[in-house]
Amino acid sequence: MDIRNHSLQKTVRLHWYNVIDPVTKLLLALFLTLLSFQLTDLYFEVGLVLISLTLLLLSRLSVATLHAVSFSLFLIATMILIQGLFNSHNTHPLVTILSITLYQEGVLYALNMGTRILIIIFSIGFFMNTTTISENATYLESVGMPYNQVYLLMSVCYILPQIQQNLNKIQFAEKARGINLQRTLIQKLQSLLPIMIPLIIKTFDQSINRSITLQLRGFNSPERTIATPMYHYFKPKFNHYFLVFMIMILIGVKLWQIISNFL
Amino acid sequence: MANYQQLSLNHLSFTYQHDRNPVLDDLTVSVPLNRIIGIIGNHHAGKTTLCRVLAGIVPQIISGKLTGDCQIGDQSPVRDWPAYNQQTGFVLQDPHSQLSGLADTVADEIAFDLLNHGVKETDIQQRVTTVAAQLQLTAQLQQSPDSLSGGQLQRLAIATAIVTHPNVLILDDPTSEMDPQGRRDFFNWLKTVTHTTIVIVSNEIDELCETADELWILEKGHLVSHGTPLQVMNHLNPEWQVTTPMVYQLARLMNWPLAIKPTLFPVTLNQLRRCVNVNHSNQ
């Protein structure tokens, strides 16, 4: 029985996104985000939303992503309302409901911002849902990043999920004792406030313990065998160069636009 | 002249940084290598700190004032930590903290230590399989470490510590989340380990007396008693509030002392069996 080498491929069916390396996914997310900030036409923005949404739907949809999307849709709706009513450039009425008028300029501005938020969430969601922390760590190490730097990077990625995990445990315990019913948003916020400081302290404490363990387990040993990547990725170097080139172009265009304003 | 065939503490004291009172106070003891040493004591006795000193965590990673000497064989966790650490396995009190967090499966988690030690990929597979079988984790090898129960997680923590074949194994309450059967299996496995000095902190006094060659009792940072389980349990001071094994309590109740030393009562099942046989033959 092959228990370790490429164990994931043996037990789980390979998906199309498994042949894209983590750095390419991250660069793709960055590229789509920068492109959305570069574009001003709403149709192009909607096109980008559809592209990033397709990426997300063709990968694995997690509950966390659905929560993030629903929260951002709520934010976008609020933005449309506020901008449609109070944007300083509002001149052309779009729609009037019960004597309240929403203006075109404000609504378009909010929609533009909203599409950017969605593009960021969809593309980052695609990266998060299709890449595990260990896949990231293994890949970064295999491309030559020193392991202690890899670990530092991964520890930062770990802090938020760990806080979430600890929070769930505390809230579950509170609910089991019937002291945290959380029926409304206000109740949820009220229940969160008293446990914030112990929660953060506990998470940092766990991080310190983990760092002690890793030193004991010899993670920074000079003898360390460099881990082999989990999957055979499709043309990773070409993808990196291509996406970095495109990102540089987008940054260059943006810089030129800023500079040309002063000329 | 130093004896390189023993674990020795020589006037060892330790105070954590920003603390006034020492957590360990003037500990002096020596035990031959490759023995099982059980450490018992109440809360804040200094058991975990002693494990940390023996593992070299203090003062290498957690700072504080360490005086005296600690020597295990020809190495010292204080002076030669990198080399010493390569030969030491440590199991933390909280098994969740033992995990690297960088492994998707139990197999990868166990292999993490071997990769760090530069073991070849071909050997890793065989060693992971062996250790998993020893600790009854074979069925869980492809599972995520996050999906394990508390007891399984503790077994995984132990597996990560022993997979590198350490000369010194330090176990800080390794069975606290195990069920009774898991605990029994663990202590039975512990008896089979050879060529390793094992230091184990545990509240399982019955199993500890059955398994350990030597018991140390810590009381508020002081080493108040040490010796074989038989000696230690028969010379307890009530002020230490240390629980005695069931075998000892039963023997005292029934007045079944050891035949060879009538002032002492048995602390293991084998000793009790002999006492019962002697008592029966006398009747």
User: Per-residue pLDDT tens for B240-255?
Assistant: 999 999 999 999 999 9
Is the predicted pLDDT of residue B199 greater than 50, yes or no?
yes
- Using the Cβ of B84 and the Cβ atoms of chain A, whether some distance falls under 8 Å is answered with no
β-strands B24-32, B197-201 pairing: unpaired
At A207, list the tokens: 């991080």
Q: Quick one: pLDDT at residue A25? A: 93
pLDDT band at residue B283 using 50, 70 and 90 as cut-offs: low
Mean pLDDT along residues A98-110: 91
Is the predicted pLDDT of residue B88 greater than 90, yes or no?
yes
CB contact under 8 A, A4 and B124: yes
Average pLDDT over all residues of chain B: 92
User: What value, to the nearest 5°, has the Cα angle with vertex A148 and ends A145 and A149?
Assistant: 50
Superfamily, domain B6-235: P-loop containing nucleotide triphosphate hydrolases (3.40.50.300)
Q: Quick one: pLDDT at residue A181? A: 63
Rounded to 10 degrees, what is the CA torsion of A54, A58, A64, A68?
0
Domains of chain A, by residue range, sit at 16-131+233-262, 138-216
Q: Which of B116, B128, B129 sits opposite A224 (nearest CB)?
A: B116
- Mean pLDDT is lowest, of A127-131, A191-195, B233-237, for A191-195
Between chain A and chain B, the number of residue pairs with CB atoms below 8 A apart is 98
- Mean pLDDT is lowest, of A108-112, A175-179, B158-162, for A175-179
CB contact under 8 A, A4 and B111: yes
Rounded to 10 degrees, what is the CA torsion of B158, B164, B169, B171?
-20
For residue A241, the tally of other CB atoms under 10 A from its CB is 12
CB contact under 8 A, B128 and A228: no
Q: Quick one: pLDDT at residue A182? A: 66
Mean pLDDT along residues A254-258: 91
Is the predicted pLDDT of residue B268 greater than 60, yes or no?
yes
Contact residues, chain B, for A213 at CB < 8 Å: 92, 97-100
Q: Quick one: pLDDT at residue A164? A: 80
β-strands B6-16, B24-32 pairing: antiparallel
Q: Quick one: pLDDT at residue A4? A: 58
- ipTM exceeding 0.90? no
> pTM here?
0.80
For residue B276, give the 3-state DSSP assignment: helix
- Do the beta carbons of residue B156 and residue B92 sit within 8 Å? no
Is the predicted pLDDT of residue A3 greater than 60, yes or no?
no
pLDDT band at residue B80 using 50, 70 and 90 as cut-offs: confident
State the DSSP code for B62. S
Is the predicted pLDDT of residue A140 greater than 50, yes or no?
yes
Is the predicted pLDDT of residue A37 greater than 80, yes or no?
yes
Alpha-carbon distance B116 to nearest alpha carbon in chain A (angstroms)? 4
CB contact under 8 A, B101 and A228: no
Give percent above pLDDT 90 in chain B: 73
Q: Which of B86, B120, B132 sits opposite A218 (nearest CB)?
A: B86
pLDDT band at residue A2 using 50, 70 and 90 as cut-offs: low
Q: Quick one: pLDDT at residue B26? A: 95
Domains of chain B, by residue range, sit at 6-235, 245-283
**Mutate: best of B115, B131, B169, partner A, most A CBs <10 A:** B115
Mean pLDDT along residues A154-162: 75
Is the predicted pLDDT of residue B43 greater than 60, yes or no?
yes
Alpha-carbon distance B67 to nearest alpha carbon in chain A (angstroms)? 22
For residue B137, the tally of other CB atoms under 10 A from its CB is 22
Spatial separation of the C-alpha atoms in residues B100 and B111, rounded to whole Å: 11
Q: Quick one: pLDDT at residue A18? A: 87
Alpha-carbon distance A10 to nearest alpha carbon in chain B (angstroms)? 10
Q: Which residues contact B229 (CB under 8 A, 6 or more apart)?
A: B38, B208, B209, B212, B214, B215, B245, B267, B268
Mean pLDDT along residues A188-200: 79
**Mutate: best of A3, A6, A210, A219, partner B, most B CBs <10 A:** A3
Alpha-carbon distance B43 to nearest alpha carbon in chain A (angstroms)? 20
Alpha-carbon distance B252 to nearest alpha carbon in chain A (angstroms)? 43
pLDDT band at residue A9 using 50, 70 and 90 as cut-offs: very low
Q: Exposed (0-12), middle (13-18) or buried (19+): which is A212, by Cβ within 10 Å?
A: buried
State the DSSP code for B75. B
Spatial separation of the C-alpha atoms in residues B215 and B47, rounded to whole Å: 12
